[in-house]
Amino acid sequence: MEEKNQRHYDVLQNDRYGRYLVANKDLDSGELIFTDTPFAFGPKPDTCPLCLGCYAAVEGRLCSKCGWPVCSEECEAAPAHVAAECAVFSAANVRFQPVEDWTAASIQLDCITPLRVLLAKEKDPERWEREVSSMEAHTEARKQRPTWAADQVNVVDFLIDHCKLGDRFDKELAQRVCGILEVNSVEVPSRGGFSIRAIYPRLAIAAHSCVPNIVHSILQNDYEVRVRAAVPIKSGDMLQLCYTYALSPTLVRQDYLLESKFFKCECARCADPTELGTHLSTLKCQKCDNGVIMASNPLDAEGEWNCTEKKCEFKTSSAAMRKMLAVVQAEVDQLDALPPGPQSIEQREAVLNKYKSVFHPRHSLLISIKHALAQLYGRVEGYEIDELPDIVLERKAEFCRLLLTTLDVVMPGESRMRGMMLYELHAPLMFLARSEFGAGLITQEKLKERLQEPIKCLAEAARILSREDPHSPEGITGQIAHQSMEQLKASLESL
pLDDT in tens, 147-184: 999 999 999 999 999 999 999 999 999 999 999 999 99
- For residues 55 and 46, what is the distance between their CA atoms, to the nearest angstrom? 14
- Written as one letter, the residue type at 231 is V
pLDDT above 90 for 15 = no
- Residue 6 CB partners (closer than 8 Å, separation 6+): none
Mutual angle of helices 416-438 and 452-465, in 10-degree steps: 160
Burial of 177 (0-12, 13-18, 19+ CB in 10 A): buried
Mean pLDDT for the chain overall: 94
CB 171 within 8 A of CB 160: yes
- pLDDT category at 220 given cuts 50, 70, 90 is confident
Asked whether residue 2 carries a pLDDT value surpassing 70, the answer given is no
Mean pLDDT to the nearest integer, 106-124: 96
Which pLDDT score is estimated for 313?
87
Model pLDDT, residue 165: 96
d(CA 300, CA 182): 25
- In this predicted structure, what is the pLDDT of residue 4? 41
Query: What tens digit of pLDDT does each residue of 43-72 get?
Result: 999 899 999 999 999 988 999 999 999 999
Confidence (pLDDT) at 6: 60
Helical pair 318-336 and 342-355, crossing angle rounded to 10 deg: 160
Q: What is the pLDDT of residue 478?
A: 97
Burial bucket for residue 307 (CB in 10 Å: 0-12, 13-18, 19+): buried
pLDDT tens for each residue of 447-459: 999 999 999 999 9
Dihedral over Cα of 368, 371, 377, 381: its sign: negative
Beta bridge partners of 186: 198
- Judged against a pLDDT cut of 80, whether residue 113 lies above it is answered with yes
* % of the chain beyond a pLDDT of 70: 99
pLDDT digits (tens, 9 = 90+) for 383-407: 999 999 999 999 999 999 999 999 9
Q: What is the mean pLDDT of residues 324-348?
A: 94
Order of all β-strands in the sheet with 304-307: 283-284, 292-295, 304-307, 315-317
Closest by CA to 58, choosing from 38, 40, 43, is: 43
Q: Where are the domains of the chain?
A: 9-37+201-241, 45-197, 248-359, 377-495
- Own/partner pairs for 331-334, CB < 8 Å, 24+ apart? 332/365, 332/368, 332/369
- 9-37+201-241 carries CATH number 3.60.15.10: no
pLDDT on residue 3: 42
Work out the pLDDT band at 289, boundaries 50, 70, 90: confident
